[in-house]
Structure 1
Amino acid sequence: MEKDNKLTLYFVRHGETQYNVEKRMQGFCDSPLTEKGILQAKSVGRGLADIDFVAAYASDSQRVQDTAKYAIGDRNIPLKIDARFREMNFGVLESLVEEEIKSLYGNILETLFRSGLNLNLDASAPEGESFVQLFTRTEEVVKEIVANHALEGGNILIFSHGVTIGNYLLQLTNSRDFTIHDNCSVTVVRYHDGQTEIERVADTSFREKGSALINKSS
């Protein structure tokens, strides 16, 4: 029997952070996982426990590395860190709350993140990076992973960020509608024979399943 060399990537957004709670722009800047974020990470890991993974990758941001470690737990899944999975660089907007951004830069958030056909992929915050630049580095590392694992196939975990994952899907599908990715939601993309198939987008069912199992065993 020929080996099934289908490669499936499971993109997982990090757990809730302190900056998420404070509603601060969090791209290259970092903040720790909250207790809720830690539980989300453990829950999504438990929800994915029935799936065999041959490898895992994570952004170099500490919130993502911590999410990966809590999710993987004691499973023997090799984890590699790659800065190309980092969140979008929001430049001068980093760590600011919405009120500060509006006071200093007007309606820049509405301009940057407007949805629909008017989304400008070349838009960026001052001193930040554009959606095109973000996609370029994300696509580069995903292509490397697909090439490195194409022969063996299997399932791969990728821990990253909401805008990074959402932007990758948006440009992969030539869409202009940005999907909001909840903390520790899972997006599943299958690669086989040069074809790409998106199976799940921002799915929270793995996290919810794991949470229920943790609550049941506690």
Structure 2
Amino acid sequence: MTLIKAPFVFVRHAQSVYNKSGLIGGFTDSQLSEEGILQAQKASEILTGIEWSAVCTSSLKRTKETASYLVPDYPCHHYDGLKERNWGDLEGESILQQTPYELTPPNGESWLVFEARVIKALNTILSQYERPLIVAHSGVYRVLNNLINGTPYCPRVGNVTPIIFNPNQNGHGWSISPFKGKFK
């Protein structure tokens, strides 16, 4: 599976109630915590002055709420394919119970099915929009890391930390860096 070579900015949703409690959220539709609302409002300073071709989120409440604070003047397009991994029986359990990514959690979604779902959604977005803002989940970031760096294992991306993904000019690989408010 490959990712269409087009620039985009990725933002993980703001802190959710489940994040604050140290619980696995996955498919669970957890809303933002009070701290999460403040995080999103603060991050909006970087993202509101940009002319986005689209703002795309998962269909879960925490990403939709985050986008509404980040870029309040933009309508959002919601994609089921960008939802976090379904952790099955581990939903609502302590994050310490999370299994390695390559193992399928009981009654949950396998890594391969999750990855294929996410890549399909990302490619749909990247084929339609020139400069999208994508608000999704840490698992989606791990899929991107796996595609680009060959492993889903990486530090968890921070809540509302904008990251720009630019294809390298030679057509091979990607440049990934914190987004400072400008496309290059």
TM-score, normalised on structure 2?
0.84
Q: Percent identity?
A: 26
Instruction: Give the distance between the partners of 1:83 and 1:69, measured in 2 at CA.
Output: 18
Aligned to 2:36: 37
Letter in 1 for 2:44: G
Of residues 187-196 and 132-141 in structure 1, the stretch that sits farther from structure 2 once superposed is 187-196
Alpha-carbon distance, 1:168 to partner: 2.3
The count of corresponding residues between Structure 1 and Structure 2 is 176
Which one has a bigger Cα radius of gyration? 1
Is 1:179 the counterpart of 2:155 in the alignment?
A: yes
Aligned to 1:166: 142
State the SS of the aligned residue for 2:77.
Answer: strand
Is 1:112 the counterpart of 2:100 in the alignment?
A: yes
Instruction: Give the distance between the partners of 1:204 and 1:197, measured in 2 at CA.
Output: 14
Sort the Cα spacing of 1:198 and 1:60 in 2 relative to 1 into closer, same or farther, 3 A: same
| Kept in 1: contact 2:39–2:160 (CA 8 A) | yes
Of residues 138-147 and 20-29 in structure 1, the stretch that sits farther from structure 2 once superposed is 138-147
Instruction: Give the distance between the partners of 1:47 and 1:70, measured in 2 at CA.
Output: 12
Instruction: Give the distance between the partners of 1:184 and 1:171, measured in 2 at CA.
Output: 22
Sort the Cα spacing of 1:54 and 1:79 in 2 relative to 1 into closer, same or farther, 3 A: same
State the SS of the aligned residue for 1:87.
Answer: coil
State the SS of the aligned residue for 2:7.
Answer: strand
Of residues 157-166 and 172-181 in structure 1, the stretch that sits farther from structure 2 once superposed is 172-181
CA RMSD of aligned residues (A): 2.4
Deviation per CA, 1:169-194: give whole Å up to 9, x if none: 22332135323111111222124786
Find the partner of 1:80 among 77, 80, 91: 77
Sort the Cα spacing of 1:192 and 1:57 in 2 relative to 1 into closer, same or farther, 3 A: farther
TM-score, normalised on structure 1?
0.72
Deviation per CA, 1:89-144: give whole Å up to 9, x if none: 10000011257x4xxxxxxx3x515xxxxxxx3x1111111222211011111111
Find the partner of 1:92 among 89, 92, 110: 89
Any runs of at least 4 consecutive aligned residues in structure 1 with deviations exceeding 6 A, and if so which? none
Aligned to 1:144: 124
Alpha-carbon distance, 1:49 to partner: 2.9
Instruction: Give the distance between the partners of 2:159 and 2:179, measured in 1 at CA.
Output: 8
Alpha-carbon distance, 1:160 to partner: 0.3
